[in-house]
């Protein structure tokens, strides 16, 4: 299964590559923010699909959707494992972890 899932931007990893860390139900992963770059900031909620933030969404919608997804049981647990295991690389093939961090929120 491949879902678009709500996640909160917790960190901008690299401004040049428009990559940030997004947290989904306690799981953090690097995602491309390029499609929403001009409309987001750390702390915003986005809809994430296959490593890309596709749209900015409000917190109420995010929480409502997460509650519904959590009700899916094992299918959602599987999706979270896939999200956690995903890796994104920069154009020069460095992993995101190799890039300098520019903003963090806890």
Rg over CA atoms, the chain:
13
Is-above-0.85 flag for pTM? no
**Distance of alpha carbon 67 from alpha carbon 5, whole angstroms:** 11
Phi-psi region of 49 (alpha: psi -120 to 50; beta: other; left: phi over 0): beta
Task: Check if the beta carbon of residue 9 is closer than 8 Å to that of residue 41.
Answer: yes
Q: Which domain holds residue 28?
A: 5-89
Residue 26 in any domain: the answer is yes
What is the number of domains present in the chain? Answer: 1
Residue 99 in any domain: the answer is no
**What are 39-51's pLDDT values in tens digits?**
999 999 999 988 8
Residue 104 in any domain: the answer is no
* pLDDT, mean over the chain: 81
Of residues 49, 58, 56, the one with CA closest to residue 29: 49
Q: Is the pLDDT of residue 69 over 90?
A: no
Q: What is the CATH number of the domain that holds 76?
A: 2.30.30.140
């Amino acid at each position: 299964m491949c879902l678009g899932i709500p996640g909160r931007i917790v960190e901008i990893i690299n401004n040049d590559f428009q990559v940030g860390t997004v947290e989904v139900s306690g799981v953090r992963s690097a995602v491309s923010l390029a499609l929403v770059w001009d409309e987001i900031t750390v702390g915003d909620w986005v809809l994430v699909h296959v490593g890309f933030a596709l749209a900015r969404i409000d917190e109420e919608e995010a929480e409502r959707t997460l509650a519904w997804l959590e009700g899916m049981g094992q299918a959602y647990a599987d999706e979270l494992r896939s999200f956690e295991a995903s890796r994104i690389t920069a154009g020069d093939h460095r992993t995101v972890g190799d890039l300098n961090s520019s903003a963090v929120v806890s």
